[in-house]
Amino acid sequence: MKTLLSVIGARPQFIKAAPVSRAVRAQGGFRDIIVHTGQHFDRDMSDVFFDELGLPKPDHHLGIHGGGHGAMTGRMIVALEELSLAVKPDAFVIYGDTNSTLAAAIVAAKLYIPIAHIEAGLRSFKPMPEEINRVVADRVSRWLLCPTDLAVRNLAAEGISEGVYNVGDVMYDTTLLIRDRANQHSKIIDELGLTPGAFSLATIHRAENTDSAEALAEVASYLAEVARERPVVLPLHPRTRQAAAKFNIDLSSLRIIDPVGYLDMTALIAGCQSVLTDSGGVQKEAYFHRKPCVTLRDATEWVETVETGWNRLWKGPDYLPRRDNNAYGDGHAAEKIVDILAAQT
Ligand code: UDP
């Protein structure tokens, strides 16, 4: 039996890994060893997703978090190399664009272990940490498992065409798996005293919005303006909480809550009037639930959401006319990924 070493560590990776891990178990041909790097570690940002999404407990927890990019990535490289030498996997499976993705990519590439990169080919064409991580991961991966045609074209423009597949978006798989359960079980809208369809949901966590007082103050004042019209619920990311405290930013006009689990998050997205976010995943989920989204950034990787008229950049032009588009696949991305790996490892 072939062994996969699946490396995850940050919140969006737990959400992306859930359908893949499920499809791996259903296929039955692999031993899947799950490594949690520790990048996100508390209950709100980590454990709740394992519980709610049925993701098996990690086989290894590296407990690495905090510090600068170099310190964090470096410690992960050391630990993942040791683990990989002991486990001798037939392939690495990595997700998205975090420091955990980068560390795993470098380790696997130097040990000549083939890498499957899930969510390959995304580009913002901006000099941001995530872009560096994804470009490096794509260069060294054997299987580039793209969520969209655009991602395939981005790779082609960089001269990468071998091992490239458009399988669809694994987060769409997750949304379809969880949607009904969220509707039935989440009570968050009631608990917060909100009226369905009459509030906005916001998330902020990107470095470009949290690293300087000016940037965070600008986002906060944008959200405060929306809050004059309707309640704005903001599940506050730990990084943003720290930045707001450090820069003394007033968030008092917003409904601040702790980060929520995936059932509650899905219910909030499905039940809101609109979404305001700098998160890649949340932009897509707004589209999956057909909610208008304003992206609190100067660029987006998820261009299809803008082209279909459901998303716009906060400082950019108004929404384009709405149209329907199945740009993110058919909800079976995970099975397609497992079929490719089963045929080729
Ligand atoms: N999310 C969540 N609870 C929250 C905030 C976000 O479950 O309080 C989910 C969200 O629905 C999406 C993912 O976390 O699936 C996005 O993660 P994040 O914004 O941290 O990262 P990004 O998508 O920008 O990489």
pLDDT of residue 325: 86
- 89 pLDDT band, cuts 50/70/90, is very high
Residue 42 and residue 6 share a domain: yes
pLDDT (tens digit, 9 = 90+) per residue, 251-282? 999 999 999 999 999 999 999 999 999 999 99
The CA distance from 79 to 48, in Å, is: 25
The CA distance from 22 to 19, in Å, is: 5
Based on the structure, what is the number of domains in the chain?
A: 2
How many residues are present in the chain? 345
- 294 pLDDT band, cuts 50/70/90, is very high
Residues annotated as catalytic are: 205
DSSP 249: -
Q: Is the CB of 9 under 6 A from ligand 1?
A: no
The CA distance from 307 to 176, in Å, is: 22
Model confidence at 137: pLDDT above 90: yes
CA distances from 255 to 127, 234, 264 (A): 32, 6, 15
Residue 191 and residue 135 share a domain: no
The CA distance from 21 to 49, in Å, is: 13
Q: Containing domain of residue 44, as a range?
A: 2-169+329-344
Sign of the Cα torsion 266, 272, 278, 281 reads: positive
Work out the percent of the chain whose per-residue pLDDT is above 90.
Answer: 98
Model confidence at 324: pLDDT above 90: no
Which residue minimizes the CA distance to atom 13 of ligand 1? Answer: 12
Work out the percent of the chain whose per-residue pLDDT is above 70.
Answer: 100
The CA 279 to ligand 1 mean position distance, Å, reads 7
Phi-psi label, residue 291: left if phi above 0, alpha if psi -120 to 50, beta otherwise: beta
Query: Which of 98, 102, 265, 288 should be mutated for ligand 1, with most atoms under 8 A from CB?
Result: 265
pLDDT of residue 210: 97
- Give the CATH number, domain containing residue 122: 3.40.50.2000
Residue 270 and residue 231 share a domain: yes
**Residue with the two structure tokens 């990690």:** 58
Residue 124 and residue 273 share a domain: no
Higher pLDDT, 83 or 66: 83
The CA distance from 86 to 134, in Å, is: 26
pLDDT of residue 326: 87
pTM of the model: 0.96
pLDDT of residue 96: 98
Residue 120 and residue 40 share a domain: yes
Confirm whether 319 is domain-assigned. Answer: no
pLDDT (tens digit, 9 = 90+) per residue, 17-36? 999 999 999 999 999 999 99
- 143 pLDDT band, cuts 50/70/90, is very high
The CA distance from 306 to 341, in Å, is: 32
The helix/strand/coil state of 94 is strand
Residue 152 and residue 18 share a domain: yes
